[in-house]
Structure 1
Amino acid sequence: MADDEVIPMCIADMDFQVAPEIIEAMEKKAKHGIYGYTTFCENYYTSIIKWWKKRFQLQIERDWICFSPGIIPGMNLLLQVLTKPGDKVIVQEPVYYPFYSSIENHQCEIVTNSLLFVDGHYEIDFADLEEKASDPLAKAMILCSPHNPVGRVWTEEELKKIAEICLKHDVWIISDEMHGDLVYKGNRHLPLFSVNPDIQNRSILCAAPSKTFNIAGLQTSIIMIPNDKLREQYQKKLFQFGMMRPNVFGVEATVAAYTSCEYWLEDLLRYLEGNLTFVEEYFKTNIPEISLIHPEATHLIWMDCSKLGLKGEQLFQYFLKEAKVKFDEGYKFGKSGESFLRMNIACPRDRLKLAVERIREAVREMQIKEQSYR
């Protein structure tokens, strides 16, 4: 990689080739030579049901499974059904920033149940959540589980409390479980549906093979809606916006991934854990000025750069210009992220090594300049 070439460590996809079974399924479909409108084969539904049963011990009903080209488009359609202009939607910031625009798209008010940053660890402020959910205008909560960007895997107790509060105050939960497969050893992702039988009728589970198997460009996501009335309303919205048909290659890739590629995911998780260990040890030894929030899941690391004295766009631009490393800007995830950056570690280790070395040099240059001004 050239010295002046920027290393991208921002957008949350992976720099790894997909499993050979997915490539084979795509090639077979490509050779078929007809790429017209498609629909969902029975194997599509079966593969999803079996995956969630095996990985999470959750029994999914076939009828619950709805389509969306992506979780964010699906979330926008759900908010059209669940809210009206002026309603309030709760998010737990810092959080994946498209949540904010999804809420604003429908002229709803963003209500922040800010996560508590305690001794380098994020926790839920349940007293604040109770207060926010008790507002009659609070109609929905968008839950990020596992959480992006802070990397928390919510415990059963935490999920039960969230469900209890939202059921008490009649608040729908849209649970984004996109990263549920990317969980590190010692942690266990629990689908929201599994922690309280009553919550199934007042919540929606959003998932996809895209993060797990690096096929986001095929635009095939899964929106699970147990509530019959809401599911009917959602399906009507899909038809209204002409979004009812999937990508012809996306269906094939989903089936191949869920039926044949679990071994690939296990190999991926081992490699990511190695990357995580390498990065955490490197920063601790060589860049102690930046504190890494240890992720329990996702291939993303939330970086606390508050000791550097830079915030917002200035912080982002410094590493882009001086280190030639592009992160995700922390401030986009919420006000509490102004001194943070998000780093994607789903790349070959040699590239990761080059990136952290550039970061170290950029921090050293900053310190040298500061000393020269004294």
Structure 2
Amino acid sequence: MSIFDEVHDRKNTRSMKWDMIHDVFQSTEVLPMWVADMDFRAPQEVNDALIKRAEHGIYGYTAIDQDVKGSVINWISRRHDWQINAEWLSFSPGVVNSLHMAVQAFTEPGDKVLIQSPVYTPFYRVIKAHNREVVINSLVREKDYYQIDFEDFEEKLKSGVKAFILCSPHNPVGRVWKKEELQEMARLCLKYGVVILSDEIHADLVFPGEKHIPIASLSDEIADQSLTFMAPSKTFNLAGLEVSYIITPNNEKRNKFKAQMTEQGYHPNGLNTMANTALEAAYTHGEPWLEELITVLNSHKNYVTEMLEAHTTLKVIRSEGTYLVWIDCSSLGLDSKELKEFMIHEAKVGLNAGIDYGEEGALFMRMNIACPRATLEEGVNRIIQAVNSQ
């Protein structure tokens, strides 16, 4: 049996996903397939490194040394064909924290910040929390696939947008942007002087036949206009350890970002002890685990698609990456509130409501498929039974 088929009891571990279901769904009967962490154990080498560190028993201040930075540099080179320098790196507890700081560093109150909806919910909060204006370039759905409306993208940039938060790969629609798409977005941002804040936290989770390209890797000019936010947290299920990093090739922008970090009380070269340990171990030893994971996730994605489309009227958007599946539930004839209640009380499955990702997602639900096959099958069968009993 694959390690990814093992069912682990996560209840009573203070798991947000499993122990907060009543608070989130007002029910204890739902099967949680929502928040983006996995029901898989991290690579054994990561667990061993953490245990060894814990056995030392002293948890004083730790530094990020050249070995840790080297593990990041080598990972980005191997997985994404991008050669980065150690001095380009800064570290923070998480990508969302970093986006908050970046919006403050590179825009002013009242400035416009562009996002591509439907998109990761915190993007809206990151912009609104600092009194910036949300500008939306809605993604265009063509059957089971989303595309960028570049004419609208340029019109929005023309209106005075100062920063663009790119989601790459895209959460929740699962797009892995092609080189030509990235080049055109970058070209327009350069044309209008728009800073690119690229959330690439799902960069490692792409399906066979697809290739993630960091937008800043396209050219030196684009790199100078970009900050790239990455982490091992989604890749290796380390979200609770709070570990991420920022790649900023441009000196001036890097110094400006670091100054903002310092102002917020963060050290640009600091992580907690266990995050530091896990980062190095994951990037040094975790590749075989990741390759098996991708095979499992690809199989899971295909299963969900085939089962829901064969046995219900639901439609699954074609995903190229992430472990999040975007499901069109419009055929049920429910509004967004009714749809959410249906999934909770009829299907008894805890999914993310599509409306939370923007108006464009009102009749969708987001499913987390990073779980053992038995859990996945249970969730899918609950949905099928509920839809056919409607």
Same fold by TM-score, threshold 0.5 exceeded? yes
Amino acid at match of 2:99: M
Alignment partner of 1:157 is 2:180: yes
Alpha-carbon distance, 1:150 to partner: 0.4
Which of 243, 249, 268 is 2:293 aligned to? 268
Aligned to 2:273: 248
CA distance in structure 2 between the partners assigned to 1:312 and 1:38 by the alignment? 47
Structure 1 stretch 248-257 or stretch 277-286: which is displaced more? 277-286
Cα RMSD after superposing both structures: 1.2
For residues 128-149 of structure 1, give each alpha carbon's deviation from its aligned partner in whole angstroms, at most 9, with x where no partner exists: 011111123x100000001000
Q: Which residue of 2 aligns with 1:351?
A: 375
Q: For 2:277 and 2:28, locate their aligned partners in 1 and report how far apart those are by CA, in whole Å.
A: 39
- Give the structure 2 partner of residue 204 of structure 1: 227
Shift of 1:120: 2.0
Distance in 2, Cα, partners of 1:271 & 1:44: 29
Q: Residue by residue, what CA displacement relative to the aligned partner does 1:27-77 show, whole Å, maximum 9, x if unpaired?
A: 011011111221202111000000011111100111111011100000000
The secondary structure found in structure 2 opposite 1:94 is: coil
Report the 3-state secondary structure (helix = DSSP H, G, I; strand = E; otherwise coil) of the residue aligned with 1:67: strand
Task: Give CA-to-partner distance per residue, 1:6-44, whole Å, 9 cap, x none.
Answer: 211110110000100000000011011111221202111
Aligned to 1:296: 320
- Paired residue secondary structure (1:205): strand
Q: Counterpart of 1:232?
A: 255
Show CA shifts across 1:186-238 (max 9, x none). 11111101223211111100000000000011101011111111211221222
The secondary structure found in structure 2 opposite 1:167 is helix
User: Which runs of 5 or more residues in structure 2 are unaligned?
Assistant: 1-8, 10-26
Matches within 5 A, 1:67-86: 67-86=91-110
Separation in structure 2 between the aligned mates of residue 196 and residue 44 of structure 1, nearest angstrom? 26
Counterpart CA distance in 2 for 1:114 and 1:323 is 30
Aligned length: 363
> Matched residues in 2 for 1:202 and 1:41: separation?
27
Q: For residues 235-283 of structure 1, what are the alpha-carbon distances to aligned partners after superposition, in whole Å with 9 as ceiling and x for unaligned?
A: 1222222221311100100000001110000010111111112111111
Q: Does 1:108 align with 2:132?
A: yes
1:61-110 alpha-carbon deviations (Å, 9 max, x no partner): 11111011100000000111111111000000000010000000110100
| In structure 2, distance between residues paired with 1:332 and 1:292 | 18
User: Which of 121, 133, 145 does residue 97 from structure 1 map onto?
Assistant: 121
Match of 1:362 in 2: 386
SS in 2 for 1:12: coil
Q: Please point out which of 294, 312, 334 is paired with 1:310.
A: 334
**Quick one: which of 12, 16, 23 aligns to 2:40?**
16
- CA distance in structure 2 between the partners assigned to 1:69 and 1:220 by the alignment: 5
Alpha-carbon shift at residue 4 of structure 1 (Å): 6.6
Quote the Cα distance in structure 2 between the aligned partners of 1:265 and 1:131: 40
Aligned equivalents of 2:176, 2:261: Cα separation in 1: 31
Residue 311 of structure 1 and its aligned partner are, at CA, apart by 2.3
Report the TM-score, using the length of structure 1 for normalisation: 0.95
Report SS of the residue matched to 2:343: helix
Structure 1 residue 118 and structure 2 residue 118: aligned?
A: no
Is contact 1:299-1:346 (8 Å) kept? yes
SS at 1:79 equivalent: helix
Amino acid paired to 1:253:
A
d(CA) in 2 for partners of 1:249, 1:165: 40
Distance in 2, matches of 1:197 and 1:121, equals 31
Tell me the equivalent position of 1:61: 85
User: Is 241-250 or 18-27 further displaced after alignment?
Assistant: 241-250
Question: How far apart, in 1, do the equivalents of 2:315 and 2:332 lie?
Answer: 11
Q: Which of 231, 234, 241 is 1:218 aligned to?
A: 241
Q: Please say which of residues 345-354 and 275-284 is displaced more in the overlay.
A: 275-284
Gap runs ≥5 in structure 1:
367-374
For 2:366, give the aligned amino acid: R
